[in-house]
Structure 1
Amino acid sequence: METRNAKVAVHIAVAERREVLQRASRRNGTRRQMKFNRICLLMVGIGTALAAWGQGRGGGQAVDPWRGMKKLLAVADVQTGYHHDSISHALATVERIGRDWRTYVTMIRTDSQLITHSQIKGQGRYDGRDVNAKTLNFYDALFMLPSGYGTLTEDQKAELLSFVRDDGKGLIVGHATGVAFTNWPEFGEMVGGYMDSEFNANAAVIVEDPKFPGADAFGLSPFMFNDQHPVFKTPYSREKVHVIMRLDPDKLDPMNRARRADGDFPVVWAKQYGKGRVFNVGWGHPDATWDDPRFQKMMLEGIKWAMGITQADVAPKPFPRPSTGQGQR
């Protein structure tokens, strides 16, 4: 009996010892896993910090926090011209519709610093460092609301032309662009024309190309639109641009009708410039235009086309004569 009890005690002792060892092993394994996890988190933190530091130092490409979405650089540099009251609202609207439709993200600037392919050197704390790595190389299209001669250097002008013509990127220009860079003929050729004059009116508009993305937002029939309408001059030519919408000259008052002898009053057009695409919208003087859902849809689709997301036939077409105000002919 005593021998049996002794054997039982031995078995119990062995089992308890085994359990103690197993618990110790599990604790050690947990500690090792926790240590490994801490090391991984530390490495991730170091990697993120190095990436951010590298961007500030100009080390490599710009970090993209919006992967999978197109990028739009919106620049309203009016330091040398007239600052329209609607500019801030225009920039905010273009930024919002891109995010609402998850189509593109917008970087808003009121200076022209990022219109370059070159590295940008910082000052002060960033003296001598390459900063603001998100230059033209980062963006799919540029939205401009310029005025006057602008602040672009000669190098920046060449890089802007190359951005569209050679890189195949998009350019979207809005109201008053027709009076910008009038001392730079290449810009006028790229956007399609300079503005000769303008007038405020609730004017009848003809949709010449309802197949262009977004043009159908206004319907297929002529419609009324209240804005400050541009009147374009050279280098504007029907042989160089694809007119999407124009004013109906037969519905204009005699004074405004006389502004163009041929009766051709384009307000929205598109064109190819080398490998790139240009979308030119003459409207946008009042805030109300930017609040119009039809206009917003047209802008969204025009930006998408300029970015290469959608396709359209933008071959130049002659002015349809005679004008009868009955839509596309």
Structure 2
Amino acid sequence: MPKVRIGSVSAICVFMAVIFCLVASALSFGQGALPPVPRTKQGHVKRVLVIGQTKGFEHDSISAAMVAVYNMGQESGLWDATLRTDTELLTKKHLDRNAKSLNDFDLIVFTSTTGELDMDADQKLDMLSFVHDDGKGFVGIHAALDTNYNWPEYGEMIGGWFDQHPWMTFNAPIINEAPDFPAVSHFPKAFVKYDEIYQPKAWSRDKVNVLLSLDPGRLDYNNNPRVHRTDHDFAVAWSKMYGKGRVFYSTLGHTEEAWQDPDIRKMYFEAIKWALGMTDGSTSSHPRPATSATP
């Protein structure tokens, strides 16, 4: 059985989700199916710290997202993931009890974290330094934008903050603005995904590389008090630099079902590879597309 590192009592849901996946695989094997063959890990395996702490709305998809990141690393042989629902490891200080610190990781993933996370001033400085100065990576999933409103530097690092979801969960019409970027190259020019798309505030496309966005010509704005952006520019995914470090964010992944979607899983798999420096992709901003697309 693979060793899964999960912190805090509240993380039992994540642990049980992993056990369920393992049991399902065992049952499938018992029925005559071939067991999965793990890939041989090549060279230095990257280490990924996955944080799922919530101090606000509890997303049902958190366990599925954390397990997906863990499994993608195991199946590809590219990284080992440590899963935590607390923030203890977000520090460069030495920790006892065989606990790791940021010095032991190459990438941080926030999986639908919400609210003001349990981080003191030193932890915040250490996390910023991890990305900005050390050139390590950061990947934000969905509600990672609904986090740390009282920490201005966090908003600068990730690119902004959550400011409502005007259409809740709906069939979102999406435009692929950067088909050359590895995390979205598998998407067509225009497509639809059933998900909850965030409206960002303190955000500007001239500070990020917009990868995916909502098609403004196919949205319903009538009597919608949640629409705050007068420019109707709703990014769905972007890449950027924060100092020396690579940052990727996408609002996709709100539902549990999203993590069974091969397109979403591939997007985050490639995003993690990119943030780890395994592939290349632009972080330069570009103008908004002149016209909307139709799938």
CA distances 1:111-158 after superposition (whole Å, capped 9, x unpaired): 0000111012xxxxxxxxx33342111111000122101101110000
Equivalent residue number for residue 274 of structure 1: 243
Normalized per residue, which structure has more helix? 1
Q: Give the direction of change, closer, same or farther, for the CA distance of 1:232–1:70 in structure 2 (3 Å limit).
A: same
Equivalent-residue separation in structure 2 for 1:91 and 1:288 (angstroms): 14
- C-alpha contact 2:59 2:254 (8 A) present in aligned 1: yes
Equivalent-residue separation in structure 1 for 2:159 and 2:100 (angstroms): 28
Q: Give the direction of change, closer, same or farther, for the CA distance of 1:223–1:163 in structure 2 (3 Å limit).
A: same
The residue type equivalent to 2:46 in the other structure is: K
- C-alpha contact 1:116 1:136 (8 A) present in aligned 2: yes
Equivalent-residue separation in structure 1 for 2:243 and 2:230 (angstroms): 31
Matched, 1:141 2:107: yes
CA distances 1:283-307 after superposition (whole Å, capped 9, x unpaired): 1111111110011111011000000
1:1-329 matches, within 5 Å, as 68-78=44-54, 80-120=55-95, 130-145=96-111, 146-198=113-165, 199-219=168-188, 221-234=189-202, 236-255=203-222, 258-321=227-290, 323-325=291-293
Q: TM-score, normalised on structure 1?
A: 0.73
- C-alpha contact 1:205 1:246 (8 A) present in aligned 2: yes
Offset of 1:101 from its aligned partner? Answer: 1.3
Equivalent-residue separation in structure 1 for 2:184 and 2:231 (angstroms): 24
Offset of 1:201 from its aligned partner? Answer: 1.2
Equivalent residue number for residue 34 of structure 2: none
Equivalent residue number for residue 52 of structure 1: none
Equivalent-residue separation in structure 1 for 2:116 and 2:181 (angstroms): 31
Equivalent-residue separation in structure 2 for 1:259 and 1:155 (angstroms): 34
Q: Give the direction of change, closer, same or farther, for the CA distance of 1:103–1:181 in structure 2 (3 Å limit).
A: same
Equivalent-residue separation in structure 1 for 2:270 and 2:214 (angstroms): 21
**C-alpha RMSD of matched pairs (Å):** 1.8
Instruction: Give the 3-state SS of the residue equivalent to 2:246 in structure 1.
Output: strand
Identical pairs, percent: 40
CA distances 1:8-67 after superposition (whole Å, capped 9, x unpaired): xxxxxxxxxxxxxxxxxxxxxxxxxxxxxxxxxxxxxxxxxxxxxxxxxxxxxxxxx996
The residue type equivalent to 1:112 in the other structure is: T
Equivalent-residue separation in structure 1 for 2:50 and 2:245 (angstroms): 17
Equivalent-residue separation in structure 1 for 2:133 and 2:94 (angstroms): 19
Offset of 1:188 from its aligned partner? Answer: 0.3
Instruction: Give the 3-state SS of the residue equivalent to 2:142 in structure 1.
Output: coil
Equivalent-residue separation in structure 1 for 2:195 and 2:177 (angstroms): 19
Offset of 1:259 from its aligned partner? Answer: 4.1
Equivalent residue number for residue 31 of structure 1: none
- C-alpha contact 2:253 2:264 (8 A) present in aligned 1: no
- C-alpha contact 2:42 2:77 (8 A) present in aligned 1: no
- C-alpha contact 2:117 2:147 (8 A) present in aligned 1: yes
Offset of 1:189 from its aligned partner? Answer: 0.4
Equivalent-residue separation in structure 2 for 1:135 and 1:173 (angstroms): 19
Equivalent-residue separation in structure 1 for 2:131 and 2:150 (angstroms): 20
- C-alpha contact 1:144 1:174 (8 A) present in aligned 2: yes
CA distances 1:197-216 after superposition (whole Å, capped 9, x unpaired): 11221011000001111312
Instruction: Give the 3-state SS of the residue equivalent to 1:164 in structure 2.
Output: helix
- C-alpha contact 1:213 1:312 (8 A) present in aligned 2: yes
Offset of 1:258 from its aligned partner? Answer: 4.6
Equivalent-residue separation in structure 1 for 2:135 and 2:69 (angstroms): 21
CA distances 1:69-88 after superposition (whole Å, capped 9, x unpaired): 1110101111x222111101
Equivalent-residue separation in structure 2 for 1:88 and 1:67 (angstroms): 29
Equivalent-residue separation in structure 2 for 1:260 and 1:201 (angstroms): 18
- C-alpha contact 1:179 1:195 (8 A) present in aligned 2: yes
